[in-house]
Amino acid sequence: MQTISVRRGLSAWAPADGRTCDNDQRRPTAIMYQVVIDTNVLVAALRLRRGASFRLLDLLGDPRWQANLSVALALEYEQVAKRKCVQGETTEQLIDDILDRLFFRCRRRPVFYRWRPFLPDPKDEFVLEVAIESQCDFIVTFNTKDFAGVDQFGIVAVTPKEFLMKIGERV
């Protein structure tokens, strides 16, 4: 494996031959939290480059937790990130590099069913569907109230700071 540096402290891992990897084969056997990251956390990390959101993205690949993703959620990440975060030093290319790292580190999950409508905000349904499919422990979001009722699926909505404290990180 080779390390590719991306500005501002984010580092990406990719196979030397450029192949993609499904991560399921590389997952350690130890129990780890399954997580879905809401789009607002990604946007906060891209805009601020500090704080709990940025730290969470910097910890992608950590053996204590595994991020999960669907194609629909990946497309939403890309669309929202490019619409809200391209400014100054944050170019589309930098966003593409960060998203490539995120997508490589996430466990990709196919979603074959829909739970819609379940949440008050239809834009959050992508996140919930991946969380259910992945049997996630946590949805990491700044809008925990938008995910009221997800506890019936065994999922807890937490802020980035709460999740970092849960895995033992100092915040």
116-153, pLDDT tens digit by residue?
Answer: 677 777 788 889 999 999 999 999 999 999 998 899 99
Contact predicate 119/125, CB 8 Å: yes
The pLDDT assigned to 26 comes to 47
Both structure tokens of 134: 């992945």
Q: 116 or 68: which carries more pLDDT confidence? A: 68
CATH (one of 3.40.50.1010, 3.40.630.30, 3.40.50.10330, 2.60.40.180) for 2-12+32-166: 3.40.50.1010
Phi, psi of 9 (to 5 degrees): 95, -10
Confidence (pTM): 0.79
In the block, residue with structure tokens 């100092």: 170
For 78-101, what is each residue's pLDDT tens digit? 999 999 887 777 788 989 999 999
Tell me what the pLDDT averaged over the chain comes to: 81
The pLDDT assigned to 22 comes to 46
The pLDDT assigned to 115 comes to 64
